[in-house]
């Protein structure tokens, strides 16, 4: 399942449209769904879990928005895990200062796939 959602941020003048997708993880007994979020650079990504469950980061990439780019971007999984792993919620500023710029002169997105583990 995939949905478009509007994200509002105090740091941006206009809302951002992001794609959110859900995939069943029936093979993992403590996880119900994997969530995918994408947020453009200069935005803020908010990750959260409900019912006292905690965030489990599967992947995190900072790469160009356009799929036809010759730049592949880079994995930022370690940085995202440092800020979000095993927490109920976290907020990530998407910016070249934090993730460094893997593709100068190209607009980038942060793509994160995670699940919520445990809880009620």
Condensed to tens digits (0 to 9), the pLDDT of residues 53-110 reads 999 999 999 999 888 889 989 999 999 999 999 999 999 999 999 898 999 989 999 9
CATH of the domain at 50: 2.60.120.740
pLDDT at 77: 96
Structural domain range at position 48: 2-117
User: Would you tell me how many other CB atoms lie within 10 Å of the CB of residue 115?
Assistant: 20
Q: Looking at the predicted structure, is the pLDDT value of residue 11 above 50?
A: no
Q: Which band of pLDDT confidence, cut at 50, 70 and 90, is reported for residue 113?
A: very high
Cα separation, 36 vs 112, in Å, equals 6
Cα separation, 26 vs 5, in Å, equals 25
What is the count of structural domains for the chain? 1
- Give one DSSP letter per residue of 75-103, joined into a string: E-HHHHHHHHTT-SEEEEE--HHHH--SS
* 36 φψ region: left (φ > 0), alpha (ψ -120 to 50), beta (else): beta
- Pull the structure tokens for residue 74: 């880079």
């Amino acid at each position: 399942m995939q949905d478009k959602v509007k994200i509002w941020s105090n740091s941006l003048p206009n809302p951002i449209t992001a794609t959110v997708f859900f995939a069943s993880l029936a093979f993992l007994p403590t996880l119900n769904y994997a969530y995918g979020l994408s947020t453009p650079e200069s935005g803020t990504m908010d990750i959260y879990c409900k019912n006292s469950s905690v965030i489990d980061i599967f992947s995190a990439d900072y790469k160009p928005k356009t799929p036809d780019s010759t730049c592949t971007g880079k994995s930022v999984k370690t940085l995202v895990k440092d800020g979000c792993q095993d927490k109920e919620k976290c907020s990530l500023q998407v910016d070249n200062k934090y993730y460094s710029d893997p593709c100068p002169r190209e607009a980038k997105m942060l793509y994160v796939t995670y699940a919520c583990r445990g809880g009620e």
